[in-house]
Amino acid sequence: MRNYLDFEAPIKELNEQIQKLKDSAVKTGVNVENAVQELEKALIAKTEDLYKNMDPWQRVQLSRHPDRPYALEYIEAMTEGTWIELHGDRTVKDDKAMIGGFGLLNGESVMFIGQQKGANTKMRQYRNFGMANPEGYRKALRLMRLAEKFNKPIVTLIDTPGAFPGLEAEERGQGEAIARNLFEMMRLKVPVICIIIGEGASGGALGIGIGDRVLMMENTWYSVISPESCSSILWRSWDYKVTAASALKLTAEDMKWNGLIDGIIREPLGGAHANHEQAISILKDVIQSTIADLRKNSNDELVKQRIEKFCAMGKYVEA
Amino acid sequence: MSWFKRMKKGITTQNQEKKEIPEGLWYQCPECKHVMTSDQHAENDWLCEKCDYHEKITSLNYFSILFDENQFSEVAAHLISGDPLEFTDTKAYKDRIKTTINKSGLKDALRVGFGNIEGEKAVVACMDFGFIGGSMGSVVGEKFARGVDKAIEENCPFICISKSGGARMMEAGFSLMQMAKTSAKLTQLADHQLPYVSFLTDPTTGGVTASFAMLGDINIAEPKALIGFAGPRVVKETIGKDLPEGFQSSEFVLEHGFLDYIVNRKELKQKLALSLKQMKAKS
C-alpha cells in the first residue's frame, strides 16, 4: 500500500481507478486496455502538473514522505551486495542514526556515510528518527579518515531532522563533534560528494555536508532550521510553517540559485518515493560521473577549491 | 570610555523595581543583589565585587580589558548586512537590521580588533549579544574570515570571544554556511601554525558552538557561562524532565572535557597572554 500526502489526492484517485479497472478485468475478462491507457496518460499529466507547481512547504512534506527511500536502501542497491557496514566511533558506542562503510560502485570502492531513518515505528525509534548523537558524527569522521588513508572517494547521504538535542548529546559534546567534522572535512584529501536525499536540517546535516560537490535531490530541503521551528521562534506560533518554508528559501532550486549548493538531482516523475528503482539508478549515475569528474583534479587541488568555495559563501554590504 | 560605560548600563537597566536609583549611576548584581556604583563595577571589569558575577559586556569592553592601553585598529568595520533572501517574519529583516544598528550603535554581531596583548600582536574577534542575540549571519562570517586573514598577514594569533544565540535565521542557508566558512578559515590559520584561542562567554549556543567556538587549539570560558549546542529549553522538551543543576554551565562543559580552563575576567589578559606565549611556534 502506498502512502499519499494530502496534495497527492488526485494521484491517489487515478491510481485507484486504474487498479479498480484492472481488478474488474481479471474478474470479468473484459478488455480494459484502452481505458487503462487513457487513465495512465491522465495520471502522468496530472503528476507532471502537480509537481511543476509545488510550493516549498509541499517540498518539505515530500522530503519526509514515508515511502521515500532512505540512505541504506540507496547504498545497498547501488553497491549490489558489496556494501559492508562498519560500526562504532571507537570511543562511546555505535550510533544507529548514522551509518557508514565501503561498498563497490561498479568495481570502485567508495566510502558511503549517511543518516538513516526507520520505515516503521520500531525502526524509527531504533534509528532515533535519523537524529545522530556526537558518536554518530565521530563515527562518520573515523570512516572518512579511513577512506582518506586508502584514497577512496567519500559519498555522504544526508537525511536528518537535526542533530539530537538530548542531555547525553550535550554531555558528549554535540557542538564539538559537528564543529570537528566541518574542520576536518574541509581538509580530506579525497573527493567528497554530499547529497541531500531527504531532510537537510541545520548543523546536523552540515556535520556530514562539507564536500567538493554538494547536491540536493529535487524534493528535499536544506536550511538552518526547519520551517516548524522557525515559525515557533520568529512568529512565536506553530501556525506559520508554510510561510516560514517559503521565507527560508530552502528548496533545491533556491539553494542552487543562491550558490549554496552545486547542483540538483532530478527525481523520477512523481518523486523518488513513486519509483525507487529509477531514483536509485539516477543517483548512481550522478555519483559515478561526479567522482570521475572530481578525479581529474589532484587531491590537493580538491582541498584548496573546497575551502575556497565555502569561504566565498555569504552576502553582505561594504558600506 | 567612561561615557560609553555609563551609556551601556543605562540601556540595560531593566529592573522596574530599581526606579528609585538614578539610572546609570548604580549597578545591582542580579545574582547576590549587591549594589555598587557603575564606575566601581566598570573598574572591576564588570564583575560583582562581592560574588564575582560576570556581567555580560560588549566587544568594546572586552577590547578595553585585553588590548594594551586599549589601543587597537578595527578590521572590516564597515561591513553591514544585506538582505540576501528578502526575509520577512513579523518584521522585514532589512528594517530589523536598520533599527538594530540605530538602537545599538553596532554594525553587526562581531567586531574584530588588531592590537597588542602584553606587547605581542594579536587579532581579537568579539561577538556582541546586543545585535540580534549575537546571531551569526554573513557579516559575522566575513568579518571572522578577514580577522583570520589579518592574523595570517601579521603572523600573529587569533582569538575569538563568542557570545551568541546561534545562527541568524533570517539569512537561512547563508547563515548555515557561515559555520562552514568560519571552519574553513580556521584550517588556513592552522596551516600557518598560528594559535587559535576560542573564548566562550555567556551564552554560547547553536551554530556558533557547533563551529568556531569549539575549534580552538584551546577552548577557554568565563565562569558560569551557558555553553551548549541545543538550548536548555529544547533539551528539556526532548528528555521531558527537569535539567540537572549546572547543566550546560562552563563548569559542566569543563568537566565533560570540552574546555581547557575557566578563567575569571580579572585574570583573563594575563592568562591568555601566557597561553599564547606557550603556544607560539618555534621558528
pLDDT, tens digit, for every residue of B70-96? 999 999 999 999 999 999 999 999 999
Is residue A195, in this structure, part of any structural domain at all?
Answer: yes
Mutation for B interface: A176, A185, A238, A258, most B CBs within 10 A = A176
Is residue A150, in this structure, part of any structural domain at all?
Answer: yes
Q: Where do the DSSP E strands lie in chain A?
A: 84-85, 98-105, 108-115, 154-160, 192-201, 213-217, 221-223, 263-265, 316-318
CB environment B170-179: b (16+ within 10 A), e (fewer): bbbbbbbbbb
Mean pLDDT value of segment A48-75? 95
CB contact under 8 A, B180 and A165: no
Question: Does one domain contain both A64 and A49?
Answer: no
Question: Does one domain contain both A184 and A255?
Answer: yes
Q: Are A66 and A27 in contact (CB under 8 A)?
A: no
CB contact under 8 A, A203 and B229: yes
Question: Does one domain contain both A88 and A172?
Answer: yes
Looking at residue B7, what is its pLDDT? 53
Position A61 pLDDT exceeds 90? yes
Residue A245: CATH number of its domain: 3.90.226.10
Question: Does one domain contain both A40 and A65?
Answer: no
Is residue A23, in this structure, part of any structural domain at all?
Answer: yes
Question: Does one domain contain both A79 and A210?
Answer: yes
Looking at residue A29, what is its pLDDT? 84
Domain count, chain A: 2
**Closest chain A C-alpha to B162 CA, distance in angstroms:** 14
**Closest chain B C-alpha to A183 CA, distance in angstroms:** 5
Question: Does one domain contain both A20 and A104?
Answer: no
Is residue A316, in this structure, part of any structural domain at all?
Answer: no
Question: Does one domain contain both A45 and A109?
Answer: no
Mean pLDDT value of segment A280-302? 98
pLDDT band at A53 (very low <50, low <70, confident <90, very high): confident
Alpha-carbon distances, residue B273 vs A31, A184, B70, B125, B269 (angstroms): 88, 28, 15, 16, 6
Which three cell numbers, joined as nine digits, stand for B270?
594575563
CB contact under 8 A, B78 and A319: yes
With beta carbons under 8 A apart, name residues in chain B contacting A178: 210-211, 229
Q: Where do the DSSP E strands lie in A80-166?
A: 84-85, 98-105, 108-115, 154-160
**Closest chain A C-alpha to B146 CA, distance in angstroms:** 10
Nearest residue of chain A to residue B149 (CA atoms): A311
Domains of chain B: residue spans and CATH: 1-55 (no CATH), 56-279 (3.90.226.10)
pLDDT in tens, A62-71: 999 999 999 9
Positive or negative, the CA dihedral B108, B114, B116, B117 is: positive
**C-alpha A31 chain-centroid distance:** 42
Looking at residue B13, what is its pLDDT? 52
Residues of chain B falling short of pLDDT 70: 1-23
Question: Does one domain contain both A125 and A25?
Answer: no
Mutation for A interface: B88, B93, B97, B179, most A CBs within 10 A = B179
* Residue-range definition of the domain harbouring residue A70: 60-311
Question: Does one domain contain both A15 and A153?
Answer: no
Count the neighbouring beta carbons within 10 Å of the beta carbon of residue A259.
16
With beta carbons under 8 A apart, name residues in chain A contacting B173: 222-224, 248-250, 254-255, 258, 260
Question: Does one domain contain both A101 and A238?
Answer: yes
Looking at residue A30, what is its pLDDT? 85
Alpha-carbon distances, residue B77 vs A260, B40, B142, B267 (angstroms): 25, 30, 11, 28
Looking at residue A2, what is its pLDDT? 84
CB contact under 8 A, B88 and A247: yes
3-class secondary-structure state, position A201: strand
- Calculate the dihedral angle through the C-alpha atoms of A56, A60, A66, A72, rounding to the nearest 10 degrees: 120
With beta carbons under 8 A apart, name residues in chain B contacting A249: 85, 172-173
pLDDT in tens, A197-256: 999 999 999 999 999 999 999 999 999 999 999 999 999 999 999 999 999 999 999 999
Question: Does one domain contain both A130 and A268?
Answer: yes
pLDDT band at A86 (very low <50, low <70, confident <90, very high): very high
Is residue A319, in this structure, part of any structural domain at all?
Answer: no
Contacts of B151 (CB under 8 A, 6+ apart): B122, B123, B157, B158, B189, B194
Question: Does one domain contain both A107 and A201?
Answer: yes
Looking at residue B11, what is its pLDDT? 52
* Cα–Cα distance, B235 to A167 (Å, whole number): 6
- The mean-pLDDT minimum among A1-10, A181-190, A208-217, B51-60 falls in A1-10
* Cα–Cα distance, A114 to A208 (Å, whole number): 8
